[in-house]
A and B are shown apart, each in its own frame.
Chain A
Amino acid sequence: MGASLYILDLVVYIGIFGIVALSLNLEFGFTGLANFGKVAFFLIGAYTYALLSQMGVPFYLCLITGASLAAIFGLLVSLPALRLRADYLAIAVLAFGEILRLIVKSEKWLAGGDWGTPVNPIFPYTGSYIIYRLENIGLVFLCLIICFLVVQLLANSPYGRVLRAIREDEVAAEALGKSKAKYKAQVFMLGSAMAGLAGGLYAQYLQYVLPGMFMPMVTFTVWIMVLLGGPANNWGALLGAALVQIFARGTNIAKDYIALPIDLNDLQYILFGVLIILMLLFRPQGLLKESTIKTKALKLVRNGRRAIKNKGSQ
């Protein structure tokens, strides 16, 4: 009973962070945008969900509004920041995330400041935590599938091809008629909307939001997921999200069985750091390598060409 509850909880987390990892993969993996402020948009989605739910707004509207607000903020932040070089963009959005967290931490009148604020649940508690979690899994994975379809369709379209071109060489992409500012702003909006959606689901599942849930470490955890799974591969982002969640919980469980002079929870951060360094040294492309662009027409040509080649070798 306890174990199955724990696993169901893990599955919910994998789903929620899978969405965030997909959004970072769209921004960083495909377009090369170093978004170190992911948590900001996650926070916007979560707080929007919490506050609207208290007013009795239906849950789907809470989710949509949270995602839209995150997208609007994404656009506002990206407009000045996208003109900057990649490393400045990273610093600018990192600061934005911290500013937002400090604002919700300091205010008292809106969302309870440091103490946070409760969320109105959409699935009333029926006496079984298992059912409650299964309901949440249904909702989270429905959203995850939609997000996955969107990023997967984009990755395998001429649009995704342009994104990768901008990542490889933005001057060349611009010289070939692609307005990098337009594409980057669109991707930043879309990525932020997905993070906002995940934030709403997170708030709904935990039924509470407080500033401590939105530390910069959340951003870095998502980065580890993408780097580990393989940038520019959507399956890799999901794989990374699952592995990092399992790894984080594994150390939590292990600490009850292994006596160490330090708290394994703190060791987690060190282990994550070591993991990233090892990945970048020995397998910089991540566990799964970048997916190639697969459009219907390309597949046809590819298969056709294979046939020609085989004929030639006979």
Chain B
Amino acid sequence: MEEELLRIREVSKHFGGVYAVNGVSLDIDHGGICGLVGPNGSGKTTLFNTILGLHKPDQGDIHFKGKCINNLAIHQIYDLGLVNAFQLPRLFFNLSVLDNMLVAARGQQGDRLYNSLFLRGRWQEQEKGLIEEALDILEVVELTQWAFSPAGELSGGQRKLLEVARGLMAKPRLLLLDEPAAGINPVLGKKIFQKLKDFSYNGIAFFIVEHRLEILFDFATWVYVMDKGKVVIAGEPQAIIDDPTFYAVYLGEE
């Protein structure tokens, strides 16, 4: 039997006395879009940061591709193919949009000191291919004409798009996206989710926090609902919508 791509068991993370994440267990399958929703402060971003290695879990285990990643450094987790796009874009503002994309590419020859000086032919060849890939992804998020502008010149929504695009550039097995559609116009937001869906057929799995439920529920294959640090419901989007608990935690309705 093939194991789940990401397996989280009884993970807790507390800050002082507050349990931001409290005994969460969940699985992410290979491929597909998995949603994570819940009110503000329910622990979604903390869970993401714990998966990523930005926080160490206080309890519990996180397995990625069958390997325990609790104690790995962030860059090692990235090497395994688990990549993240931050909620507030953390771009390299003085670098061009294209350079931002190229930093993210995995398995580059030329990012080692020796290779960059002495194996120039090798990485130059590789870089041609990477630029093609980067421009293809930029096309999707409609940033092609900004490719050579500094990332700092982009608008708020465009920065968000570049953050997502950079995550795709790493060709991850699993991409964590924290509110990819926030601050982006509805038409483009939908378009991006459509593209994420296309990418998910190519073997990338997505785990997405999103408050724009009308978009998320159209594309997600599975949804987890968090409240007060715990997963309270899990299921297919339609089942979630039909569940009265969902309205109680999310919309505060009785």
**Residues in chain A within 8 A of chain B (CB atoms):** 150, 153-154, 157-162, 164-165, 168-169, 171-179, 186, 190, 290, 292-293, 295-298, 300-302, 305
CB distance from A174 to the nearest CB of B (A): 5
Closest to A302 in B: B148
Give Cα distance in the complex from A186 to B117, angstroms. 13
Hey, which chain A residues are within 8 Å of B69, CB to CB? none
Given contacts A161-B95, A297-B128, list 14 more A-B pairs with CB under 8 A: A150-B117, A154-B116, A157-B110, A158-B123, A159-B112, A168-B93, A174-B74, A175-B54, A176-B104, A178-B103, A295-B124, A296-B124, A298-B98, A301-B135
CB distance from A137 to the nearest CB of B (A): 26
B206 at the interface (CB under 8 A from A): no
Find residues 103-161 in chain B having any chain A CB closer than 8 Å to their own CB: 103-104, 106, 108-113, 115-117, 120, 123-124, 127-128, 130-131, 135, 147-148
Q: Is the CB of B117 within 8 A of A178?
A: no
Q: Is the CB of B75 within 8 A of A157?
A: no
Q: Which single member of A168, A171, A176 contacts B95 (CB below 8 Å)?
A: A168
Q: A159-B112, A162-B103 are in contact. Are A293 and B79 (CB under 8 A)?
A: no
Listed stretches B25-33, B37-45, B83-91, B245-253; interface member: B83-91
Give Cα distance in the complex from A295 to B111, angstroms. 13
- Chain B residues with a Cβ closer than 8 Å to the other chain, count: 44
Closest to B90 in A: A172
Hey, which chain B residues are within 8 Å of A159, CB to CB? 110-113, 115-116
B102 at the interface (CB under 8 A from A): yes
Q: Is the CB of B108 within 8 A of A158?
A: yes
Give Cα distance in the complex from A253 to B19, angstroms. 70
Hey, which chain A residues are within 8 Å of B113, CB to CB? 154, 159, 186, 190
Closest to A169 in B: B90
Between-chain CB contacts (< 8 Å), 12 pairs: A165-B92, A169-B92, A171-B54, A171-B90, A174-B75, A176-B83, A176-B103, A177-B78, A179-B75, A186-B113, A190-B113, A301-B131
Q: Is the CB of A290 within 8 A of B127?
A: no
Hey, which chain A residues are within 8 Å of B75, CB to CB? 174-179
B241 at the interface (CB under 8 A from A): no
CB distance from A28 to the nearest CB of B (A): 14
Hey, which chain A residues are within 8 Å of B110, CB to CB? 157-159
B96 at the interface (CB under 8 A from A): yes
Hey, which chain A residues are within 8 Å of B92, CB to CB? 164-165, 168-169, 172-173
Hey, which chain A residues are within 8 Å of B108, CB to CB? 158
B170 at the interface (CB under 8 A from A): yes
Q: A161-B103, A297-B128 are in contact. Are A290 and B94 (CB under 8 A)?
A: yes
Hey, which chain B residues are within 8 Å of A157, CB to CB? 110, 116-117, 120, 123
Give Cα distance in the complex from A173 to B91, angstroms. 9
Q: Which single member of B54, B83, B109, B131 contacts A298 (CB below 8 Å)?
A: B131
Give Cα distance in the complex from A124 to B116, angstroms. 40
Hey, which chain A residues are within 8 Å of B96, CB to CB? 292-293
Interface of A is mostly: helix
Give Cα distance in the complex from A297 to B133, angstroms. 13
Q: Mark B183-200, 1 if CB is under 8 A from A, else 0.
A: 000000000000000000
Hey, which chain A residues are within 8 Å of B91, CB to CB? 168-169, 172
CB distance from B126 to the nearest CB of A (A): 9
Give Cα distance in the complex from A296 to B120, angstroms. 10
B13 at the interface (CB under 8 A from A): no
Hey, which chain B residues are within 8 Å of A165, CB to CB? 92, 95, 103
B61 at the interface (CB under 8 A from A): no
Q: Is the CB of B170 within 8 A of A176?
A: yes
CB distance from B21 to the nearest CB of A (A): 19
Hey, which chain A residues are within 8 Å of B73, CB to CB? 174, 179
Give Cα distance in the complex from A292 to B109, angstroms. 20
Closest to A187 in B: B113
Hey, which chain A residues are within 8 Å of B104, CB to CB? 176
Give Cα distance in the complex from A173 to B95, angstroms. 13
Q: Which single member of A153, A172, A175, A300 contacts B117 (CB below 8 Å)?
A: A153
B52 at the interface (CB under 8 A from A): yes
Give Cα distance in the complex from A297 to B123, angstroms. 10
Hey, which chain A residues are within 8 Å of B111, CB to CB? 158-159, 161-162, 178
Q: A171-B90, A177-B79, A297-B127 are in contact. Are A161 and B52 (CB under 8 A)?
A: no
Hey, which chain A residues are within 8 Å of B115, CB to CB? 159
Give Cα distance in the complex from A290 to B152, angstroms. 14
Top 8 nearest A-B pairs (CB, nearest first) are A158-B110, A159-B116, A177-B78, A172-B90, A168-B92, A157-B116, A297-B127, A297-B128
CB distance from A27 to the nearest CB of B (A): 14
CB distance from B93 to the nearest CB of A (A): 6
Q: Which single member of A154, A171, A295 contacts B127 (CB below 8 Å)?
A: A295
